[in-house]
Chains A and B, each alone.
Chain A
Amino acid sequence: MRASPLVAVDDLVKVYPARGKQPAVQALRGLSFSVEPGEFFGLLGPNGAGKSTTLGCITTLVRPTSGRILVDGVDVARDPLQAKRRIAVVPQTRNLDRDLTVREVLTYHGRYFGLPAAEREARAERLMAELQVAEKADAKPLTLSGGMQQRVLIARALMHDPKVLLLDEPTTGLDPQARRLLWETLKALHQGGLTVILTTHYMEEADRLCQRLAIVDHGQILTLDTPAGLRKGLPGGQILDMWVRAERPLAPELEGLPGVMRIERVESHGDWEGLERLRLFVDPGDGLLDRVLHVVRDGGADLRHLSLNAPSLEDVYIHLTGKELRE
Chain B
Amino acid sequence: MTATFNRLWDSRYRVLVLGVLAVGLMAALPNFIDDYYVFLGCEVMIYAIAGLGLTVLMGWTGQIALAHAGFFAIGAYGTAILSADGFPWPVALVLAGLCATASGILVGFPAVRLRGFYLAIATLAFGELVQRLLILFASVTKGNLGFPVDLIDVGIGTTLTLWYVSLVILVIGVVALSQVGRTRLGRMLRAVRDIEVATGALGISASRYKLLAFAISAFIGGIAGGLYGQLVTFLTPPIFSLDLLIVFLIVVYLGGVLRLAGPIVGAVFVVLIVEQLQDLGSWQRLVFGLILVAIIRFMPGGLVSLPSLLRRRQRGSNSTGGGGLLAEPAPVRVVDAIPGGTP
The reply to whether chain A is a binding partner of chain B is: no
